[in-house]
Amino acid sequence: MSRTRFVAEISSNHNRDLRRAIKMVDAAAEAGCDGVKFQLFKIEELFAPQILANSTTHRERRKWELPLEFIPALSKRTRELGMEFSCTPFYLDAVKELEPFVDFYKIASYELLWHDLFKACIETGKPLIFSTGMSTLEEIINVMQSIEHYRGAEVTVLRCTSAYPTPVTDANLSSIKTLRRALLPFEDKLKLSFGWSDHTVSPAILLSAAFRYQASFIEFHFDLDGDGEEFGPGHCWLPSQISTVIKMVRDAELGNGEGLIKPRSSEINDRNWRADPKDGLRPLASERTIFEK
């Protein structure tokens, strides 16, 4: 089984404060994450004009925007800590703006139907990860057909449920297996892997995704202290919560071993204390001589 990558989705919990954002990157590293991800959007290029004209709620999303000038410092700090840096582009120009700084692109479930965004990301040559919440299998296959001619591209498909938070009864983890089977025809063209984007904040769901469904990538919403803009609904993990899960996964991965049947180094000293085949008594006859006076 391959190592599961854990990526902290900081989303808008940075509160437009660079010092807070960097603290979140540091906290993600301390929790054992392999990467962090932000979101780059402008509400004028995220919502249709009539929505912004008539919805105060959506206009207030402006305070959730990540300032573009934060990106270089966040990328630098993330890489200094040995993690990958990513940011979801929500408008086409964002792909170019992010290109010098990201290790991979992530496309959100809400943009699944926007094939031009997929094309812009994958043409950079960087790995592409996308979520599939709310989608039908046909819609996912349509996306794959739109990018399959980019042969050899690294593509990770994440299952998720786009409810914030998601009840565990709606997680539907077994759909990872369904998706893996359905996309098998694309594996001779693309370097495909599969994972989970979490909105449950359930350790059981993450552990099941990693082990039962062999998710190679797990993304989760992350907050520093409960004061983030998106913490309220209940879909964000705190550092102490996620660090416990990551440690459990890492310990289990270490425990997998290489599969050979041979004495482990920690049990070598006990080998001679097995029952001797001649009389059924412990230790082996050769070991008993040490105790003879």
Task: Indicate which CATH number applies to the domain containing 185.
Answer: 3.20.20.70
Q: 170 with 285, same domain?
A: no
What are the CA-CA distances from residue 292 to residues 216, 252, 265, 284, 288 (Å)? 56, 43, 27, 13, 7
Residue 1, pLDDT score: 55
Q: 232 with 147, same domain?
A: yes
Q: 95 with 147, same domain?
A: yes
Q: 285 with 208, same domain?
A: no
CA 292 to chain centre: 60
Q: 198 with 273, same domain?
A: no
Q: 83 with 194, same domain?
A: yes
Give one word for 201, left, alpha or beta, with left for phi > 0 and alpha for psi -120 to 50. Answer: left
Residue 87, pLDDT score: 98
Residue 2, pLDDT score: 78
Domains held by the chain: number: 2
Q: 290 with 191, same domain?
A: no
Q: What is the pLDDT along the chain (293 residues), one digit of tens a residue?
A: 579 999 999 999 999 999 999 999 999 999 999 999 999 999 999 999 999 999 999 999 999 999 999 999 999 999 999 999 999 999 999 999 999 999 999 999 999 999 999 999 999 999 999 999 999 999 999 999 999 999 999 999 999 999 999 999 999 999 999 999 999 999 999 999 999 999 999 999 999 999 999 999 999 999 999 999 999 999 999 999 999 999 999 999 999 988 999 999 999 999 999 999 999 999 999 999 999 87
- How far apart CA 210 and CA 76 sit, in angstroms, is 29
Phi, psi of 127, rounded to the nearest 5 degrees? -60, 150
Q: What is the CA radius of gyration of the chain?
A: 24
- Let me know: does 258 contact 92? Beta carbons within 8 Å: no
- Let me know: does 274 contact 285? Beta carbons within 8 Å: no
pTM exceeding 0.75: yes
Q: 220 with 284, same domain?
A: no
- How far apart CA 57 and CA 35 sit, in angstroms, is 31
Q: Which domain holds residue 179?
A: 5-256
Phi, psi of 96, rounded to the nearest 5 degrees? -70, -40
- How far apart CA 222 and CA 25 sit, in angstroms, is 10
